[in-house]
Structure 1
């Protein structure tokens, strides 16, 4: 089996080398980039399974947030920020740009490898052949195989996280899904703070409403979320 390919985007050459050696020793293939433009070029050229992305990429480069936004225009490949920007506001902005994970430096490399493995498991290990392949509720149509969404017949582009949040809500539209159940379905045991879930749900609502659909992820106080009110 071909080992996952990870794109490492880091402007510090010593840290970039340390990360690629650590990943290679753990069985991953790697491709490197030192700035935003080369990151996007290598992303499209090599089609990595995951992107490890610094935010600050030097004074003459677009930053990692913009790199992530541009990747999200065309792909739902997992993106994990690895950065010194530790403020909660920075983390919210990072997740809002489309990131799947946000790790602050300095980081224990064993922990980083565990986070990478968890992301790749979530992406590659979901779904059973006996499960339904399409879901419909409140004018929202999900194709679970193609991972596409239509609202009243209109295609809607969602990020991987937004799609994965919508699935359990549409599966049982009358049932309340707890925050913990949503987190477990989408992120596993770790996802950050409550703000991260709120940001992704807010973006999901915005996409669905803009397409003419209902206001999804209706909050039921003290319990969780239902598809609509």
Structure 2
């Protein structure tokens, strides 16, 4: 078993960081987030210049919904590697999750300034703007993301959801349906598709996709509320 082999390597040389990272990643796959976090913290303490370990530690805090610690960790990652897109994207996400939309928008704009061909910064900035109700700016950015990364589920879902919010249900359905075909196991995409069908009063399809979304993520509160309304 891989886990035993990595533990054996570490028993022989506790400084072997690749084995530590691999063991932590196994713990993550097993759902053992606490042991994984402890490994990442230990690696950050022993190898403060290891960007990957610091990013993984930040993600561990995200899993715990400890967004302040996540933000602090990702700030350290950005200071460590100012040109790192993953470090900046992680920092922006932690701001977003903690409800600090203004700071997340600043970071996404900085990424676009430094990496103007990186589609997912446009996509995430579009999402942040639609959350604030700035749908026209959001649509422009979402179209740019879709242009840079055509036929990608995340960008098509964002574009479709903005069309949905703007009342263009035809374009919403076209984009979100294609996103769901590209990634049928994404709970949010299935929920968005259900919302579009609900807008069209297609209740059977609405229920189908709400149930699918909840099977993937039983904690999706918006899907629960809409399904309850349809009973």
TM-score above 0.5: no
Which structure has more helix as a fraction of its residues?
A: 2
Name the structure, 1 or 2, with higher relative contact order (CA <8 Å, separation 6+): 1
Which structure has more strand as a fraction of its residues?
A: 1
Structure showing greater Rg? 2
